[in-house]
Amino acid sequence: MTITYAPSHTTFVAEVSGVDFSNMTPEVVSDLKAGLAKYGVLVFRNTGLDDKSHVDFSRMFGDLDDIKPYSQLGRINRLAFDELFDVSNIDARGDVIMPGSVDWVMRNGNTIFHVDSSFNPRRAGYSLLLVHSLPPKGTGGGLEFADSRQAYDDLDQATKDKIEPWVLMHSQHHSRKIASPHAEILKDPKYKPESHPFGRHKVVQRHEASGRMNLYIANHAYCIDGWEVKQSQKEIQELLDHASQPKYTCEVEWENPTDLVIWDNTCTLHRATLGEFDGKYKRDMRRTTVHDDSSLAWGHNNVGILGGLVCRKTDHLVSCLPCLVVPIRAHI
Q: Where are the domains positioned within the chain?
A: 4-310
Q: Residue 315 carries which DSSP code?
A: -
**CA-based nearest residue to 104, from 87, 121, 117:** 87
Please name the residues in contact with 211: beta carbons below 8 A apart, sequence gap of 6 or more: none
| pLDDT value, residue 321 | 41
The CA distance from 66 to 80, in Å, is 12
Question: E-assigned strands of 18-111?
Answer: 41-44, 85-86
Q: Residue 301 carries which DSSP code?
A: -
| pLDDT value, residue 144 | 98
Is 4-310 a domain of CATH 3.40.50.720? no
Per run of 10 residues, the mean pLDDT along the chain (length 332 residues) is 96 98 97 98 98 98 90 79 96 94 95 97 97 96 97 98 98 97 95 94 98 98 97 98 98 97 98 96 97 96 48 45 34 28
Find the DSSP H helices in 60-112.
Answer: 68-71, 102-107
Task: Provide the whole-model pTM.
Answer: 0.90
| pLDDT value, residue 302 | 66
